[in-house]
Amino acid sequence: MIFEGEAMINMSSNNDEIEETLNTETLSMEEAYVTRAKVKMEEVRKENERLKVTLSQIMEDYSFLKNQFNGITDQSKKATNLASMAGSDEESELVCLSLGRFSGPREEKKMMNKRKTLENGNKLDGIELGLNSCHPDNSIEVSRNNLDESKEEGSNDVRSSTKHSRIGDDEILQQNNPMKKPRVSVRAQCNTQTMHDGCQWRKYGQKIAKGNPCPRAYYRCTVSPSCPVRKQVQRCIDDMSVLITTYKGAHNHPLQPSAAAMASTTSSAVAMLSCGSTTSTSCLTGYNFSTASNFPRATFSSSQSHPTVVLDLTPPNHHSNRLSSTLFSNTRSSPTSLNFSSNFPTINTTTTMAPPHSQHPLFSGVQKQAGNDQNIAAAIAHDLSFQSALAAAFASIVAKNNNVNGARSSGMNFHHQNFAQTTSNASVGCAASFMSRFGQPMNSQQHNLTLAASKTRAMSLADEGEHLSL
DNA sequence: CGAGTTTGACCTGCGC
DNA sequence: GCGCAGGTCAAACTCG
């Protein structure tokens, strides 16, 4: 039995307890809040540090690339001065990196004559990737291929008008530039007449080209009557199982997903060529990713002023010198141009001309990022689908980068970053795809990248009855 | 009959 | 200016 007073006391003590409990709860809530805040602050602090590191890395890259750029600019200036001041004896030292691009027909003819003279005298040893210092404003040249395309395809009013409006004053420059449309050649093993690429083509001609008894077939895109895209199909003289498909131009109509993969690959390769043929091709000569033969190769060349990207999707044992002997049979300039196949996923950089960039922070990052697991590396390196996936991914990313950076970037910085990032991303994308096969998750960007790339490969294999589950 | 292919003629650019 | 080679045109032909 409890008395009222007792009850009162009990009540008051209960109140105290409740209050105490409440206080304790408030305290613990505050503590929790503080703890959370602390954790958050710690996270922010870490993020801040990470950003600092990134910033310093970027600054490091910037200064590195700036030095490179300055060095090359100085060299090109010296070379130009030497060429203008000294006689033809010194001309062999003039390195010309332009993929057939000069400021005008006369200059081009001059340069061709110079080159020929040098070649005849055995003074030029294969590589003639000059600095294109012939043109005072290199940055302008980025859009030249596009310009040229729109000019050549004047019948296509829509495309020309949009392109012209985009490029504006550069049109004047283009009028002086006879550079032809960039091309993308795809080498792939194919037993059928043409490689199925998801697009509709109509044959409009066939011709026996010099140096190859196999007839070359000419196709045009029939999806849209005004589509300027042309395709040439020819068997490789050294290996009849290899089909060389050369694409010219860009589709001016929406494409089916299956065709978009290939179109994206080729147009991206053109974009890559466009940027590579501008100011900074020279920097690429420093990269020779050709240590392994088990990888798709992207080769750049200028064939009779046709800048060409060759994507080699043939299996590793098909990578040989025949590429030069067939594709470049009519090439006056040396096919020895840019050759970056890679020992995937570790980006293996060796030197050919310029100092190696393997110590470049970007590449060290790439190596760290991609080269942790030797087994995975070996597996990927032997997976043909991933080899071609990289080729497509490689090109796709470059195009993406070009869209983002191309307008405002020019010169070495852009190219170094672009190239390094491309290589890195492509490697990571393919690696991610590989990992996903083994149940590892990957992010959406990596997924999209790999998916698009794999589609391209799947299309090229479709006629041979191979099926990749995408 | 329409769509696609074949094939000789023609055009253009380039080297000599 | 001429010849060569690449690229395109268009009439004839083939096929479903």
One digit per residue, pLDDT tens: chain A, 470 residues? 444 444 444 544 555 555 565 566 656 777 887 888 888 888 888 888 888 887 777 777 777 777 776 766 566 555 545 444 443 333 333 333 333 333 333 344 444 444 444 334 333 333 332 233 333 333 333 333 343 333 333 333 333 333 333 333 333 333 344 445 667 888 887 777 777 777 888 888 888 888 888 888 888 888 877 788 888 888 887 787 888 888 888 787 777 776 776 666 666 666 655 554 433 333 333 233 333 334 445 666 654 456 677 777 776 665 444 443 333 333 333 333 333 333 332 222 222 233 333 333 333 333 333 334 344 444 444 444 444 444 444 444 444 444 434 333 333 333 333 333 333 343 433 433 333 333 343 444 444 444 444 444 544 444 444 333 33
Question: Nearest nucleotide by C1' from A304 CA?
Answer: B14
Residue A132 has what pLDDT? 34
Question: Nearest nucleotide by C1' from A234 CA?
Answer: C6
Number of H helices, E strands in chain A: 13, 8
| Nearest residue to A426 via CA among A278, A224, A289, A284 | A289
Question: Nearest nucleotide by C1' from A202 CA?
Answer: B4
Pull the structure tokens for residue A264.
């994206």
Task: Using a 7 Å cut-off to protein CB atoms, list the covered nucleotides of chain C.
Answer: 4-10
Residue nearest to nucleotide B3 (CA to C1'): A202
Residue A51 has what pLDDT? 81
Distance A220 CA to B12 C1' (A): 19
**Alpha-carbon gap, residue A339 to A299, rounded angstroms:** 5
Question: Nearest nucleotide by C1' from A218 CA?
Answer: C7
Question: Nearest nucleotide by C1' from A109 CA?
Answer: B14
DSSP letters spanning A137-196: -GGGGGGHHHHHHHHHTTT-HHHHHHHHHHHTTHHHHHHT--PPPPEEEEEEE-SSSS--
Pull the structure tokens for residue A7.
């009850």
Distance A211 CA to C8 C1' (A): 21
Distance A257 CA to B15 C1' (A): 44
Residue nearest to nucleotide C4 (CA to C1'): A210
**How many other β-carbons are positioned within 10 Å of the β-carbon of residue A119?**
16
A210 touches strand C (CB under 7 A): yes
Question: Nearest nucleotide by C1' from A201 CA?
Answer: B4
Distance A144 CA to C11 C1' (A): 38
Distance A112 CA to B10 C1' (A): 28
Distance A201 CA to C16 C1' (A): 18
A216 touches strand C (CB under 7 A): yes
Distance A245 CA to C8 C1' (A): 18
Contact (Cβ atoms closer than 8 angstroms) between residue A418 and residue A404: no
CB under 8 Å to A173, separation ≥6 — which residues?
A: A103, A140, A144, A147
Tell me the three-class secondary structure of A37-77, residue by residue: HHHHHHHHHHHHHHHHHHHHHHHHHHHHHHHHHHHHHHHHH
Distance A323 CA to B6 C1' (A): 29
DSSP summary character for residue A255:
-
**Alpha-carbon gap, residue A254 to A247, rounded angstroms:** 17
**Alpha-carbon gap, residue A402 to A406, rounded angstroms:** 4
Protein side of the strand B interface (CB < 7 A):
A 105, 109, 112, 116, 178, 200-207, 217, 222, 304-305, 332
Residue nearest to nucleotide C5 (CA to C1'): A210
Distance A467 CA to C5 C1' (A): 40
CB under 8 Å to A136, separation ≥6 — which residues?
A: A103
Q: Is the entire prediction scored with pTM above 0.85?
A: no
A332 touches strand C (CB under 7 A): no
A226 touches strand C (CB under 7 A): no
Distance A170 CA to B9 C1' (A): 38
A82 touches strand C (CB under 7 A): no
What's at A139, amino acid-wise? S
**Alpha-carbon gap, residue A336 to A330, rounded angstroms:** 14
Give residues 335-394 of chain A lying near strand C (Cβ < 7 A): none
What's at A381, amino acid-wise? A
Task: Using a 7 Å cut-off to protein CB atoms, list the covered nucleotides of chain B.
Answer: 4-9, 13-16
Q: What are the distances in angstroms from CA A115 to CA A120, A121, A212, A241, A375?
A: 8, 10, 26, 35, 47
Q: Which residue has the tokens 């240590």?
A: A291
Ramachandran category for residue A248: left, alpha or beta (phi over 0 → left; psi -120 to 50 → alpha): beta
Question: Nearest nucleotide by C1' from A179 CA?
Answer: B13
Label the pairing between strands A338-339 and A183-189: unpaired
A143 touches strand C (CB under 7 A): no
| Nearest residue to A410 via CA among A114, A143, A155, A110 | A143
Label the pairing between strands A306-312 and A183-189: parallel
